[in-house]
Amino acid sequence: MIDKLEFFIALARQQHFGRAAEECGVTQPTLSAGIRQLEEQLGVMLVQRGSRFLGLTPEGQRVLEWARRIVGDTRTMREEMRAARRGLAGHIRLAVIPTALAMVQKLTEPFQTRHPDVTFSVLSRTSLQVLSLLENLEIDAGITYLDNEPLGRVTSVPLYSERYHLITAVGTPLADRDSVTWSEVADLRLCLLTADMQNRRIINQHMAEAGVTPKPTLESNSMIVLFSHIRTGKWASIMPRNVAESFGFGEEIRMIPITAPEAEHLVGLVATHREPFTPLVSGLLHEARLLAASNAFDRNLLSSDGSAVLTS
């Protein structure tokens, strides 16, 4: 039954019998036979069939919810028994929004130091993709925005707050300023993340609140592409300061706070809500809480003039 439910989840995800079979490591006839047997066992049609996959029936949609729950619980049981025999070991699949990629090592490095038999794979994905991958059991956890768009049924641990800065080369317009406004940066030659990124939707939102519309002359889903264009002195960008700092900009690049209004958005670890969690996810959530506590301590540090400093 578990194998057949795995087949069914893969088919719902791939929406193609051949690709689903390839994902499961079986032949297409084996996968098709498994799903037909599942239909016979449940007494309902799960898949609308024609010359190709046409979608799930209403019963299939409901069974898909149960399948994800049952398969997720089965994986949890297996991991828990493996952890009881060998200690915490295995592989954690993470999907991370581009602006948070630079901080992932603050989570993975201490976790792997404590649990050296755990390995990681880290994917760069949009916030919507992070949630979709979680729902489809394709990842174990994600790092995404927590306070801007609906997350659904997840467990979350806030890690840090993004605060937005103008990133521009020395000698370019506004580079000599101590702060700038959202309406002012709209007039610059901007390179920004693509519109499918929540970071870009946040930027659009704050510019709209200021009565302006961003008109970037270059868009990319890669932070490296944006940074390489900023270095030319021909483009500026808007991004969280902690992201810019991770690329080690020297004195030739300025990071100027954007005010009116000052924008702050929470980023954190998310995992599909279930009880119990797999040992690996439970350990990762614990590591995230330790990191969050450390960041909270850092945020309470004072600057030389006695005012509070919020670090990202």
pLDDT at 5: 92
pLDDT at 251: 73
Using CA atoms, how far apart are residues 49 and 269, in angstroms rounded to an integer? 39
pLDDT at 304: 32
Residue 80 pLDDT greater than 90, yes or no: no
pLDDT at 14: 87
pLDDT class for 250, splitting at 50, 70, 90?
low
Beta carbons within 8 Å of 75's beta carbon, 6+ residues apart: 137, 278
Put simply, whether the predicted model's pTM sits higher than 0.85 gets the answer no
**Hey, which of 14-18, 83-87, 151-155, 164-168 has the most confident mean pLDDT?**
164-168
Residue 25 pLDDT greater than 80, yes or no: yes
Residue 79 pLDDT greater than 90, yes or no: no
pLDDT at 211: 92
Using CA atoms, how far apart are residues 214 and 263, in angstroms rounded to an integer? 16
The pair of structure tokens assigned to 80 is: 């828990």
Decide which of 106 and 274 is more confident: 106
Residue 298 pLDDT greater than 60, yes or no: no
Q: What angle do CA 188, 191, 194 make, to 5 degrees?
A: 130
Average pLDDT, the chain: 87
Domains by residue range for the chain, with CATH? 1-83 (1.10.10.10), 88-160+266-295 (3.40.190.10), 162-263 (3.40.190.290)
Residue 300 pLDDT greater than 50, yes or no: no
The β-bridge relationship of strands 53-56 and 47-49 is: antiparallel
Average pLDDT, stretch 252-274?
89
Counting residues of the chain whose pLDDT is more than 70, the rounded percentage is: 93
The pair of structure tokens assigned to 42 is: 């449940």
For residue 117, the tally of other CB atoms under 10 A from its CB is: 10
pLDDT digits (tens, 9 = 90+) for 119-141: 999 999 999 999 999 988 889 99
**Hey, which of 44-53, 75-84, 139-148, 292-301 has the most confident mean pLDDT?**
139-148
Residue 262 pLDDT greater than 70, yes or no: yes
pLDDT at 302: 30
Q: By the 8 A CB rule, do 139 and 133 touch? A: yes
In a 3-state reduction of DSSP, which class is residue 89?
A: coil
pLDDT at 312: 33
The pair of structure tokens assigned to 284 is: 């990762």
pLDDT at 82: 76
